[in-house]
Amino acid sequence: MFRLFRYFILTGLLFTSVYADAFRYGIPVPKTPLYAGAYIGTVYNPYEYQHLIIDDLALLLYGQKERFHMLGEIEASDIPLRHTRKSDFRIYIERLELTWDKDDFSSITVGKFNSDIGFWNLTRLNTLTDTSTSPYITEVMFPELTTGITLHHTFNDETTTASLTLQHNPNIDTQYNNLKIDRHYALSLNYSDFTYAYKLNIGYFREKNTTESVYAGIAYQQETDNWTFQGELFTRACFDKPDIPYNGYLQLTRHFGLHHDLIFRQEFYKNNQTHIKEGISLIGYAYRPKTSVALKTEYVRHSVLPVHHIIFSASVIF
């Protein structure tokens, strides 16, 4: 345990000392409108790993020219910091997308991008999320990533947006996605007004093993100076295997100033594919000395599966 805290503290000190200056996203690439940046996250999760690992190491390339926006992200994951541990080290294309703003209200995105589903799925970097662990809902209910095209439109009142996603082809990177799909059609409706937002999602996808599914879900988010409340609830029906009747979570984050957050999350799901119905409780703490740096710890407890554990992480984006 002492070694764990030593790793955690040393990693945090390294990150905060190197990036103590004002936060900025990347450095300009000469003679182009692009910026190059990077992201690194380290995690200690005794349930999955025996040692501290680099969970994510990503190179980012992004930029804007007139009405065009580009984003590329190449990621390596599961890198052990000790040679005694075997690794499933691989390099993936996580995102590769190009967006054209047709006008102030409509845009088109092509490539590989985060699926426009719920709220959590759109902000998945450890530095930006409240907790290191993602809700179970993002693992089994819908494709996290889509390789295809998305049409976005904001209506005249600027509080309502809609997106239509179409994928009728294999993924750019066939390995990096929670579900290996070659079809995905989805519709998203979002209403937001000052401090709160609602979202409705429906969709269909086909996995490469020919399993077909439809899903539907709702999401809600509200923010104040001291609190953030977020919740999502989805259902998934499969054509040729058992359904997942419901999977959802409620999360409450208490903000103490700009740097400290206390997080409570309760998940609940029934998965007829695994014959498990349970709840997952989480309590966590996040410290952000700078916008670009996050140090987190959280305790996760399952009501059925014997996988209770504590997770520590440190991450930075620059």
Q: Tell me if 129 sits within 8 A of 138, measured CB to CB.
A: no
Domain that holds residue 272: 2-317
How many structural domains does the chain have? Answer: 1
- Work out the pLDDT band at 82, boundaries 50, 70, 90: low
Predicted confidence (pLDDT) per residue in 218-260, tens digit? 999 999 999 999 999 999 999 988 999 999 999 999 999 989 9
Query: Is pLDDT above 80 for 46?
Result: no
Nearest to 170 by CA among 139, 208, 113: 208
CATH number at residue 7: 2.40.160.10
Q: What is the pTM of this model?
A: 0.87
Predicted confidence (pLDDT) per residue in 86-125, tens digit? 555 678 889 999 999 999 899 999 999 999 999 999 987 8
